[in-house]
Structure 1
């Protein structure tokens, strides 16, 4: 009997270009009443995907745009949503509405888009803005604005729907640190996503993927996903090693996966978590789980900082300072130090505090502290997942 390819049924490999449609099993808000934040805990099924991951890896989601924003664009330009447009060099086509919803990036403006769009209008202001000598003004305009702003600000336009979409970039997947261990949740992947909402330039703005997840994805529906390995952020190979984790806000995500993994493996190494957010009552993400791990001894130490509960704002780096002697002892004992979260402020403050602690507790000069930290980096003992 001859075995055909049909009989073998090779499972497809899912990737960035061929994402897996993962079913949403659970989607809840982790923040309590009165919080100014909305942080979603999402559980997705990977069943039948063949996908696996390690603690520290990220999950990519290929999002779709806000239907209200798409409708506003079509209305502004008086386009027919059924108009068929070519979306790429391969000549593939989609109806305009679907192309703007699922294929193109419409919430970000680039210098290139503005420069090319200037050819489709007689608007002097835009023609002036794209001049070489106005590069700074152009950058400033593009920052925090989207396609709808541009279309409203610089018309009238003499461009077809096809000419306009040809300016746009393909939708980029959004990457999120995985918040679960596959050993603890076989066939599942969990995420911790903060909904991004803000006002700028006279309009309310929404994060493309975070608000899709917060407002429009129900249990039972699917999200297109793929796993993105992160070789520079992972648990120590030895289960004997101590780990110190600093993860305020959604930066807690990979550390939930680290802790779950260590719980399953009954790791001997000690585990210390620094968590921070605004209010203890409403923003202590995964509090029950973390306290249970602490009672069970999986989490050796848990230090939480809530910046809005006291007159003086207390952040994770202040908690590190309060525990400086013990923290340095852990480092001297070979502990691995991890940071996840905001790159602009938090990660810098944590880095500087770490140097202070090494200097103060180790009796070192600033140069020696710097070199101590560099040695930790070389040994893979100082790892950051910042964004």
Structure 2
């Protein structure tokens, strides 16, 4: 690299020559870093000359403001993507920032933070995502972290069809204010079609920080450059995403419950071909499904809309309404926005009364499909009116039930059909009906991988694991054992599984029996709720085998729970606390603290939905 001649230099020619010699081997990134380093060092100079190196470093540490913390509290990956976008734009704007997952963040560190931006999703009954449970508990605990010097802003992601819409974001926002932190600006809540609202919040936040952080941006330049030099950029080998899914061919669509079972559960295998897609046990598979054409035609008939009429979607695309209803609009999950909007159009008094009563409205949408609303209160609509009442279709997530160490270029999932009757009409879940009833081997489906960094096997293959699941919650544990078996990992494996009937609902029965025979599955406990008069569930098995459970925990076992969030997971946690308290001789509060320590150290992980 050559440098242009300079005149009037404040250094002599020999020094310049030596400097140019040392710079000649640097690449552009190293040169940029050195520029920032030298600038920052120059700011530590006083009028009398250079400050000694050690003193300059100390002063720099004291005077440079800590970077902005972007905290991601994500369940399905949406909040993580928004947080990543925010951090990328902060970096591009020159604002020093750090992105961390709530699952990897110790709550006590909040006391040392200066400014935190929280992107939080909500799961279950208004609960924070799994990775943010410890942070949430710490803030609402008896000894919350000191945050009076903290400034913050919150973006909430949720689903307005649930009563506690964006509750986790609301909790973080209100609690930080109660504890004395300073809110930068009002919280923003996003529905399932979150992208536009989230983008607007990101742009507003970056603009505010650029304006108010200008004094710190230059001082942080060297630190940011060091980070860029030391940390290798992430390589995103995954070229297929939620926005650009992979079209996979179904290899197998097999029912794995008996003909007498009350459930229709399918095992589906997808061919990944030469896509290069990689995943790990614990990840989820996103499926872009298509709505049932028969349901679409029923909706069109109830509203008097011609399926060939064009509509404009929220993203600006213009499509025929029937095609849009099949491929782009949500018609299997009712929402408060739909009922309120339709009530205003129809001026039906019963719907207007419902819309005014939030509790009654939530009960109504939980049991009344959109199609039923339209048939009970018939109203001619324009195609655009119908389109505007509906929110965009979103993919469904399924726990991956396979390990690539075993199945290679395939990915497997376990899907239970959602089916119910209303007004003498049978309805099915959007994705489960699509996968279980309308597709077969040879058909194609748009899919993508959603990584789950906080539902992972232990790094040490000798660490024992306890897997607790009910129904299709067994899926990720099949993946866990496939990997451990393929790699001959020696850690003990205990499966605690529950379903309705041993004869009809023992999912992957032969596989588990083979694993037990080979002693790869070293211990197992099954709870069949309907095989006897008394209902037995997985939490009852935990209590029955509490002594052994405690022994496994004392040996360093990792706990995993997968399944229903609202009932099973809560009952399991209550049973775990009871076992920890009784077997460990701990008080209720100490048992809760023990379980929380397991969660913070990633020894207690849940994949609940």
**Superposed pair shares fold, TM > 0.5:** yes
1:94 to 2:319 alignment: yes
1:18 to 2:244 alignment: yes
1:136 to 2:359 alignment: yes
Aligned residues of 1:122 and 1:156 also touching (Cα < 8 A)? no
* Partner Cα separation in structure 1 for residue 505 and residue 426 of structure 2: 24
How many pairs were matched up?
Answer: 373
Q: Residues 105 and 362 (structure 1 numbering): CA distance in 2 closer, same or farther, change over 3 Å?
A: same
Q: Residues 299 and 117 (structure 1 numbering): CA distance in 2 closer, same or farther, change over 3 Å?
A: same
Which residue does the alignment assign to 2:477?
A: 255
The DSSP-based 3-state class of the residue aligned with 2:420 is strand
Which residue does the alignment assign to 1:5?
A: none
Answer 1 or 2: which has greater helix percent: 2
Aligned residues of 1:59 and 1:225 also touching (Cα < 8 A)? yes
Residue segments in structure 2 that go unaligned for 5+ positions in a row: 1-236
How far residue 166 of structure 1 moved from its aligned partner, in angstroms, is 1.6
> Higher mean Cα deviation, 201-210 or 267-276?
201-210
Residue segments in structure 1 that go unaligned for 5+ positions in a row: 1-10
The DSSP-based 3-state class of the residue aligned with 2:521 is coil
Which residue does the alignment assign to 1:4?
A: none
CA-to-aligned-CA distance 1:172-215 (integer Å, 9 cap, x gap): 10000000001111100000111111224654321111111111
**What value does the CA root-mean-square deviation take over the aligned residues?**
1.6
The DSSP-based 3-state class of the residue aligned with 1:82 is coil
CA-to-aligned-CA distance 1:279-319 (integer Å, 9 cap, x gap): 11111111100110111121111211111111111111222
For residues 284-363 of structure 1, the aligned pairs below 5 Å read: 284-363=506-585
> Higher mean Cα deviation, 100-109 or 122-131?
122-131
Which residue does the alignment assign to 2:371?
A: 148
Aligned residues of 2:247 and 2:446 also touching (Cα < 8 A)? yes
Aligned residues of 2:302 and 2:378 also touching (Cα < 8 A)? no
For residues 1-387 of structure 1, the aligned pairs below 5 Å read: 13-90=239-316, 92-131=317-356, 134-157=357-380, 159-200=381-422, 203-387=425-609
Aligned residues of 1:66 and 1:212 also touching (Cα < 8 A)? yes
Aligned residues of 2:253 and 2:266 also touching (Cα < 8 A)? yes
Structure with the greater alpha carbon radius of gyration: 2
Which residue does the alignment assign to 2:81?
A: none
The DSSP-based 3-state class of the residue aligned with 2:389 is coil
Aligned residues of 2:543 and 2:575 also touching (Cα < 8 A)? yes
* Partner Cα separation in structure 1 for residue 351 and residue 536 of structure 2: 45
> Higher mean Cα deviation, 43-52 or 279-288?
43-52
* Partner Cα separation in structure 2 for residue 12 and residue 348 of structure 1: 35
The DSSP-based 3-state class of the residue aligned with 1:305 is strand
CA-to-aligned-CA distance 1:150-190 (integer Å, 9 cap, x gap): 22233334x31112112211101000000000111110000
* Partner Cα separation in structure 1 for residue 373 and residue 257 of structure 2: 35
